[in-house]
Structure 1
Amino acid sequence: MNDRMMQAVLHDHYGGPDVLYLGRVPRPEPAAGEVLVKVHAFSVNGGELAARAGRIRLVTGRRFPQRVGLDFTGEVAAPGSGVTRFAAGDRVWGVLGRRAGFGSAAEYVTMPAERVGRVPDGLDLVEAAALPVATTAVTALRDKAGLRPGERLLVRGAAGGVGNAAVQLGRAYGAEVTALARAANLAFVRGLGAHEAVDHRGVRPADLGRFDVVMDTVGTDLRAFRRLLNPGGRMVTIAFDLARPAASLGYLAASAVHGRGRVRFFSGAPTREHLDDLARHVVEGKLRPAVDTVFPLEEVAAAHRALEAGGVRGKYVVRVAA
């Protein structure tokens, strides 16, 4: 077998989960300042589903085959020149980010060393794959919203990959956390630390009360949830309405200059500092991985299908290395 090639999850056109297949691509080599990581596991994220289905083709384009996979855990296979922080065998994690796009659903990935963090000792690398995107919750609550102890926090999509981390971190930051989730997941989000858990299908936004911070992972009805902010309140979203993208993105842009309570929209691109902060919360017992199901690499289409069906508790993780 040619050791310059590797397995990777690919798709040759847009469509449902069944367009995904395992193919062979050249194995990357680390450039100066990069590390080559042997991937042990990755999680399935909502943005990948939209990209694979062609809903954001203005961003992903029409060149195929395309890749999937946003985050990863693994071991350093080789450091590039100039890298002294990491050595072969070090256990690491990271998120590819906006510029790199997708591609962690593979046997190897390269990353700039300054955007890779160490996985805490004792944390299984497959379970740990549920956590790298939790850096998005760190950025949203700490950096964008400036969440303070004693404030009321509302988390939309609280049972999902970023939402479950936001519930845990909100509690760690000293906030009073209200979690919106499906009825079947209310006990799950209470177990994460939510002070109150509410069935999102059984309540109108206006009946939820007022909040200092709203953390949104859904992207719909942003105007209605923005109205829940107290004076000086902040709203952060990591999603927009894919059914009405132009109107949704237009509203996000307009909120920055009109009306009370700007809605802050961003996509995650964590630095080492974010990953180190994540690790610290894990070591202190304030954040734990929530893994719904682990799939083998050859069943990545089933993992996509499961996330599309809804109802996930935490993350669907795909194991790459045995």
Structure 2
Amino acid sequence: MKAAQITGYGTPDVLRIHDVDRPAPGAGEVLVSVEASSVNGLDTIVRAGGMRIVTGRRFPIGVGLDFAGVVAATGAGVQQYRAGDRVWGTVHPLKRHTTAGAAQYVVVPADRLGPAPDGLESVAAASLVVAGTTALTALRDTLRLTGGERLLVRGAAGGVGTAAVQLARAMGGQVTALARDRHAGALRELGADEVFDYGVTTAERIGPFDAILDTVGSELSAYRRRLTRTGRMATIALSASSMAAIGASSVHGARRVRMLSSNPGTAVLRDLAAYVTSGELRPVVDSVYPLADIAAAHRAFERGGVVGKQVVAVSGT
């Protein structure tokens, strides 16, 4: 089979498509014929060497945190899936993988899969796996957003941001989005009540908010001060400045900044699928690349400035 792999840490140029042996599922595992995978922040961090304490220095390393496709085979003891089932899921984010989601086949434990939403083709499904489960976990479990509360989404035009705007609206939140001015129309269509241009809007000019979901990682202390007395804030951006702000905020109790990382299992994937099926969440895909052009997909992700996700189409590659 063909698989995208990292041949050394660095720019997207270190990504290569290699011919490798097709894996076989062990006990409790499922072999998935991958049709699509998306580009996520962790993929670019791993590729650049930011997770080398986990991934080590033995190459090649697989790339692609998420995937959508069809069950090809199951290992011993797997009862909930059969060949031909449409599924979506993730590889474990804190384990080293020789091949991962950006490959023609991937093997994962059955508890890292969920049934893909009916009628959603795989490119669209892949765009929601990590982005959607991260947004859902942040809003429901970390921030505990309730109806009528005011939510600020920073970086609202990205994959997590576009999912969060929709999910927050479904939960009854009043959504304020921070993004580029040219994305305001798209974000209002997704459910944002207000959209501010992050290039000219300072933290002091907006708020207060009951909850803030940050995908940017800068100025966390300034935005934390825009919380109400019982406000909550979470960030998914891992950086030196965000870690410093999180540490400094710990003295503020409930109003401290929380770091969030998504590691979804079957239950969260099923919950996310229900939002898709109900029509409350739809995929937002900016661009689609063949597996052979995965380096271009990584470059597009790192340039930013778009609405939604970069997706890698694996079928037919």
Answer whether TM exceeds 0.5 for this pair. Answer: yes
Partner residue, 1:315:
309
- Is the CA contact 1:97–1:270 (under 8 Å) kept in the aligned structure 2? no
Partner residue, 2:165:
167
Distance 1:54 1:26 in 2: 25
- Is the CA contact 1:138–1:169 (under 8 Å) kept in the aligned structure 2? yes
Distance 1:172 1:21 in 2: 40
Partner residue, 1:273:
267
Distance 2:263 2:194 in 1: 30
Which amino acid is 1:201 matched to?
A: G
Distance 1:178 1:240 in 2: 23
The answer to whether structure 1 residue 30 and structure 2 residue 25 are counterparts is: yes
Distance 1:78 1:253 in 2: 46
Which of 51, 66, 69 pairs up with 1:71? 66
How do 1:64-103 residues align onto structure 2 when only pairs under 5 Å count? 64-100=59-95, 103=100
Decide whether aligned partners of structure 1 residues 71 and 157 sit closer, same or farther in structure 2, where only a CA change above 3 A counts.
same
Structure 2 SS opposite 1:98: coil
Which of 117, 120, 133 pairs up with 1:123? 120
Distance 2:184 2:238 in 1: 24
Deviations 1:102-142 (A, max 9, x none): 62111111111122111121111111111101101110000
- In structure 2, list runs of 5 or more residues that go unmatched: none
Distance 2:168 2:51 in 1: 31
Deviation at 1:54, TM superposition (A): 2.2
Partner residue, 2:34:
39
Deviation at 1:57, TM superposition (A): 3.0
Calculate the aligned-residue CA RMSD, in Å: 1.5
Deviation at 1:11, TM superposition (A): 2.0
The answer to whether structure 1 residue 7 and structure 2 residue 2 are counterparts is: yes
How do 1:172-251 residues align onto structure 2 when only pairs under 5 Å count? 172-241=170-239, 245=240, 247-251=241-245
Deviation at 1:257, TM superposition (A): 4.6
Structure 2 SS opposite 1:37: strand
Deviations 1:196-247 (A, max 9, x none): 0111111111111210000011111111111111011110111122xxx2x5
Structure 2 SS opposite 1:256: helix
Structure 2 SS opposite 1:313: coil
Distance 2:79 2:48 in 1: 40
Q: Which stretch of the first structure deviates more once superposed, 63-72 or 21-30?
A: 21-30
Distance 1:228 1:142 in 2: 20
- In structure 1, list runs of 5 or more residues that go unmatched: 1-5
- Is the CA contact 2:232–2:254 (under 8 Å) kept in the aligned structure 1? no
Which of 153, 156, 159 pairs up with 1:158? 156
The answer to whether structure 1 residue 111 and structure 2 residue 85 are counterparts is: no
Q: Which stretch of the first structure deviates more once superposed, 193-202 or 21-30?
A: 21-30
- Is the CA contact 1:220–1:240 (under 8 Å) kept in the aligned structure 2? no
Deviation at 1:251, TM superposition (A): 3.3
- Is the CA contact 2:221–2:249 (under 8 Å) kept in the aligned structure 1? no
Distance 1:119 1:292 in 2: 20
Which amino acid is 2:56 matched to?
A: G
Structure 2 SS opposite 1:168: helix
Distance 1:251 1:198 in 2: 23
Which amino acid is 1:35 matched to?
A: V
- Is the CA contact 1:35–1:76 (under 8 Å) kept in the aligned structure 2? yes
Distance 2:155 2:90 in 1: 21
Deviation at 1:31, TM superposition (A): 1.5
